[in-house]
Structure 1
């Protein structure tokens, strides 16, 4: 068996496969929560290209297996871009440490109070923020949140919000320099949303100095909003085999992605940050136009393809786009939600054209079931705000109704109004015209027919 990927064996690879930066010259300046494939194919790549000394220590909220695997490989892994003309593989070297949030709680807190660490990034999915579906703030009644609030802050905590709030509080008490917390999850106003849940945790704590901590955080912790974009399918056995063939050695943490990537960030950092603009990141005063375009057009179309494709018995996005209705669905949904988008973002027609090309990429195998996970949270973020706005204007919403019907078919046997209430949309659940229109779509979908 060939030797595994690590800092010794990577030196044997051709220059075109090796990292663009020597990991030995990096030190931890960023802490990242969420050790999934998306971070490794997106923020870690931008950070590598930002250059020295910007190293990342990545924290896995739950899985200890991925931490062990990353440590075994000296935190190196391969990224393969799936291009229609052929794959392109190389090693990424920006991650210099890996921690498990529970077992390594003290080490995580030590980094969060380290003056050299000036940026925290997050990819913990929408559900990782434990937001109340009604109020939008921290759901302090959630079992995991309540347990963290009652636990010893110095010990293991189970929520990223709890661990981050506790670490930032320790940083404030120590008088350490300012720091920026950058949410990279698909939520509208993700900067404000992450700020709110962290502040809510401190406010709900029993810490005697919580008021002083909040005052200091208001001055010393920034929460810039961001928009991230890259399609990163779940890694399968075929991907691991392809990485092994390309490298000539095994890589247990290989990731794959489409060629396209984008990162738009609100230019409101409180402390030094990597020069991500060197690799094409865009810093703007307000990310809202980009954020809503991505949420409602890309993410919204993705979720629609996932639920409708599943209803039609399909498996991947590319298969769904190959149907006689796949491209029409994407273009129709984009056209339907475009009137809700603010000025100053991408051109909606050009954006829809790009989506069709990206989703059609035959080299990508993006599973519908991966996109369809956490359905209620994604529906609440991706479809419902546009639906409310359009219906308030008296506009027709046939594509969103069709998408909601497909989601309802996959969600549970509950009536549509009950599902909408569970998704935090009691107002829409009480709209009889809407719920009837959604329900009327169900028979055709049950028969596997998608009728645009």
Structure 2
């Protein structure tokens, strides 16, 4: 039997399931960017809210949308939009069937009518998880007017065709709300972008202005709420083992799209006006006046450290974040980087920063979470400014060491250099991959030229760093060592100096 509404009655008693009639749910939330994280995070928290709210919760179903690849939402639709959350402890796994999705859509399908769904009076909230690269931002977190996808969407708006980017869809939907005199939905960005609510507001108003709709841009700026959020749950890619475990835990019922996740869950949401689900029913969710300190700690200390584990771990032949974090040399380097460099500007007491560092490294080492370094290493050019360069700049201005940041950047460059030489087994996904490989090809034997050309990309790194020539020299020196020494020896020497 395939997982579906009919199968709910046949689940083993140890499997958690919805406490409500999933057939009675109505969509009150539109989501852009259906993927594993969304299902392990917002969808799971929404189920907890509906469970807690009883009859009143049935208005908070989610119409979720795949932006690029339709197969996931098609598989969900075949399962009545049900799926299994596999919560993976180091030595145990629990299964929960999640049923808070009402509709599974594909942005490329004209019949999806996403702008109309955003404008539907029943839609009170729009959430997004399209990844940092899905917003097409420059290093200063403004909409990139030259991005191909943005230019294509501007043409679609001129031709009255459905948009394909998140910003384009929001502009189309909000335009319909304004034209109809309705109340706009609250827009909740749930991606790892600095000041994500304010940043998305600027991107949407920039897009509206670029499309010649200045009055709409002013209305969005004045009327639509874009609270900041911070989201945190490590959610790896689904593999065949996850599908097999779901089948076993569900008593033989087949789920084609289970999602594994760690036990940890955190969702910090800026306070906003209007109706919403009781998301606080899920432990780890809270509404606060100011998200900034939570966001900065997570972006820098978790996401930034993920990057060093991915790029250095990949060079060292380690395939998962758990392996990299547990490595006897790389693990301590990463922990030192997290606590002593990435905490710059995070206004929390030292004991709390110490505890956060220990907890994060413990989470990273969870062997049940198979988080590939290849996946974490994606789209580095879109992540670098907020996660690494911001604290690095503060540390340089304060005269503090930036050894870890230099190692991270050099390792990232090395990925492209090896890829250009067809000497890297890891595949690279990055919006600027072509130009970055070209830099490495043109300066193949000149490590300083590679370092200078990368750091000169202000759309990635922002304005020139303090002590620019010194940093270029340090990165170039590491690139030279990567070329002439074993990576293990390089790491051992660096670890001895921290």
| TM-score, normalised by the number of residues in structure 1 | 0.94
Helix, strand or coil for the counterpart of 2:342? Answer: helix
Tell me the number of residue pairs that the alignment of Structure 1 and Structure 2 aligns. 445
| Partner Cα distance (1:212, 1:427) in 2 | 36
Deviations along 1:182-217, one digit per CA (max 9) or x if unpaired, are 0010011001111011111111113xxx23323332
Query: Separation in 1 of the partners of 2:235 and 2:153?
Result: 31
Q: Which residue of structure 2 lines up, in the alignment, with residue 212 of structure 1?
A: 215
Give yes or no for the alignment of 1:142 onto 2:147: yes
Is the 8 Å Cα contact of residues 20 and 92 (structure 1) preserved in structure 2?
A: no
Unaligned runs of 5+ in 1: none
| CA distance in structure 1 between the partners assigned to 2:282 and 2:350 by the alignment | 20
Separation in 1 of the partners of 2:131 and 2:65? 14
State yes or no: 1:66 paired with 2:103.
no
C-alpha change, 1:339 and 1:202, in structure 2 (3 Å) is closer
Q: Could you tell me which runs of 5 or more consecutive residues in structure 2 were left unpaired when the two chains were aligned.
A: 51-56, 418-439, 444-449
1:203-242 counterparts in 2 under 5 A?
Answer: 203-206=209-212, 210-242=213-245
- In the aligned structure 2, how far is the partner of 1:354 from the partner of 1:384? 24
1:325-336 correspondence runs (5 A): 325-334=329-338, 335-336=340-341
Residue 129 of structure 1: CA displacement? 0.5
Distance 1:344-1:324 versus aligned 2 partners, 3 A rule: closer
Q: 1:13 aligns with which of 11, 14, 18?
A: 11
- Alignment partner, residue 454 of structure 2: 419
The alpha-carbon deviation at position 345 of structure 1 amounts to 11
* Aligned equivalent of 2:427: none
- Counterpart contact for 2:106–2:112, Cα < 8 Å: no
Q: C-alpha displacement at 1:430, in angstroms?
A: 7.9
Aligned partner of 2:40 in structure 1 is 41
Q: Distance in 2 between matches of 1:64 and 1:361?
A: 31
| Distance of 1:93 and 1:401 partners within structure 2 | 45
- Give the direction of change, closer, same or farther, for the CA distance of 1:20–1:301 in structure 2 (3 Å limit): farther
Paired residues for 1:34-433 under 5 Å: 34-51=33-50, 52-53=57-58, 54-104=60-110, 107-133=113-139, 135-152=140-157, 154-206=160-212, 210-247=213-250, 248-267=252-271, 269-280=272-283, 281-334=285-338, 335-343=340-348, 347-412=352-417, 413=440, 415-422=450-457, 423-428=460-465, 431-433=468-470
Q: After TM superposition, give the deviation of residue 442 of structure 1 in Å.
A: 2.4
Please identify, of 354-363 and 415-424, the stretch whose mean Cα deviation from structure 2 is larger: 415-424
The alpha-carbon distance between structure 1 residues 368 and 106, as it changes in their structure 2 partners (threshold 3 A), is closer
Q: CA RMSD in A?
A: 1.9
Q: CA deviation at 1:75?
A: 0.4
TM-score (norm 2): 0.86
1:80 touches 1:257 (CA, 8 Å); kept in 2? yes
- 1-structure distance, mates of 2:466, 2:395: 16
